[in-house]
Amino acid sequence: MGGQIARLRSALVEAVTEDDMTAIARKLVEMAKAGDVTAIREVLNRTLGKPTEADLLDRLEAIEAQLVEGGVG
């Protein structure tokens, strides 16, 4: 099963061009701007990361800053 999925994924990557991806991204952004909530969520998740991921990164940066200020880093 894993081999078949890898072959299918490879075929898809070979079939999709950079221009295709640009057109798809532009359409997704256009849909988001028009108020499509699913498209809005997808654009935000793909560009900013899911909220939990972004929150985790903010927390890690704050901890790193505290460590540097305390002379640990």
Entry pTM: 0.63
* CA gap 22, 72 in Å, rounded: 44
**How far lies 61's CA from each of 54, 55, 58, 64, 67, in Å?**
11, 10, 5, 5, 10
Q: What is the pLDDT along the chain (73 residues), one digit of tens a residue?
A: 789 999 999 999 999 999 999 999 999 999 999 999 999 999 999 998 887 877 888 888 999 999 988 876 5
Q: What's the sign of the alpha-carbon dihedral 24, 28, 29, 34?
A: positive
